[in-house]
Amino acid sequence: MSVKTDRVGLPGSRSLSVISAHQLFFPAAAVFAAIAPWLLLVSLAGITEPLVDVSTHARGLLIGYIGALIAGYLGGKLPLRQLVVLFGLWLAGRWAEVFSGSPLITYTLYIAFGLSLASIVVPRFSAAKKWRNRVVGPLIALVTCFPLILGVYGATGYQPPVPLYTLLLLIALLMFFMGGRLITPILARAYANTGGTLPQRVQPRLEGAVIVLLLFASAFSIFPFGTAWVALLAGLAGVLVLVRLYRWKIVGPGWQDADLMALGVGYLWLGLGLLVFSLSLVERLSPFTSLHIITIGALGTLSSTVMLKFSCRTRPPPPAAYYVVVILLFLATSARCLVDALPAYRQSLLFASGLMWSVNFLLVLLRTLPGKEGQ
């Protein structure tokens, strides 16, 4: 496997190799995503005891997978030594989740990776002028350094502990913002190619409203009295996400813009997931279904599309590649959502969901490997 490097001259020193972070982190993220469900699901087949519990499975996705995505998407070109250290911390964290048996080791690695990643990415947003853009830097810091926040919060002895869906709400906000900033220019080009006029662009007031709603929802989620507020704010945010998507009229240019369609489907899952999550809190139902709508449907579709686009810039993948992502993750999300409704088929549905998810990321992996662009 070849990795493209550039040579950068530094004053008074030898040239230094730099590598685009996505060349390393996107394939690693795809491999981890494909494997992660089976660390938990192997126990259902009676093969072995589960290698991770449900909480560790969730942390692996929300901390490990998200961390790799942020590093690949926003890390840019990094000196080889810095990239190796960052990737080594990430990889060690994945090993510790499964094999260390020591929460202290695991969280230490989480924190070290998060701080290292934040120190690279967050300063790049310091020059933003508009408040909506300036929020992104602190938001990324909150997401990447969430294990540190958990540690400090736990050290105070405050009860109950911070729920993991606090982090998921912050990740939902990051997906909302980044997804919107990806969709808008692609949509503008698609309308221009058809001779049409883009009906809506950034929609700044709506974007600002969702940012505020999800920030307050995540803040209220750490307090025992905040459940009703979280439900209200997350539900309103979900409605506004769907309103924004409707006003973009993504299907206007036609179905030939497959990357745009895939991003739109991911955005649709995000709005629906926030709505169902809100309803699950009000009805005091298990939030697992709604959380998997956000993680499998929204996060899976948006991240797969981003990895395909970034890894295949010189020779874009065929439109079918994006539609395969949409179909596989639709099936994975649907199967996971049916688990609570059809408990008699629980094992089969979980296996079907995990299989569709893993096949999707194995296919994404084939296109994110360096040297495999456009093949």
The per-residue pLDDT for range 152-187, each reduced to its tens digit, is 776 666 655 678 889 999 999 999 999 999 999 999
List phi, psi (to 5°) of 20: -65, 125
List phi, psi (to 5°) of 339: -60, -50
Residue 1: the pLDDT is 39
- The domain ranges of the chain are 1-161, 163-375
Residue 296: the pLDDT is 97
Considering the entire predicted model, what is its pTM? 0.90
Name the stretches of the chain with pLDDT < 50: 1-15, 373-375
| Sheet hosting strand 16-20, strand order edge to edge | 6-8, 16-20, 77-79
Residue 370: the pLDDT is 67
Residue 9: the pLDDT is 40
- Pairing label, strands 77-79, 6-8: unpaired
Residue 46: the pLDDT is 66
Q: Is 157 exposed, middle or buried (0-12, 13-18, 19+ CB in 10 A)?
A: exposed
Residue 235: the pLDDT is 96
Q: Around Cβ 190, how many Cβ atoms within 10 Å?
A: 21
List phi, psi (to 5°) of 19: -130, 140
Distance from C-alpha of 120 to C-alpha of 71, rounded to nearest angstrom = 9
Distance from C-alpha of 19 to C-alpha of 348, rounded to nearest angstrom = 42
Rg of the chain taking only CA atoms, in angstroms: 20
Residue 345: the pLDDT is 92
The per-residue pLDDT for range 224-245, each reduced to its tens digit, is 888 899 999 999 999 999 999 9
List phi, psi (to 5°) of 220: -65, -25
Residues 6+ apart with CB under 8 A from 22: 72, 73, 75, 307, 310, 311, 368
Residues 6+ apart with CB under 8 A from 289: 276, 280, 336, 337, 339, 340
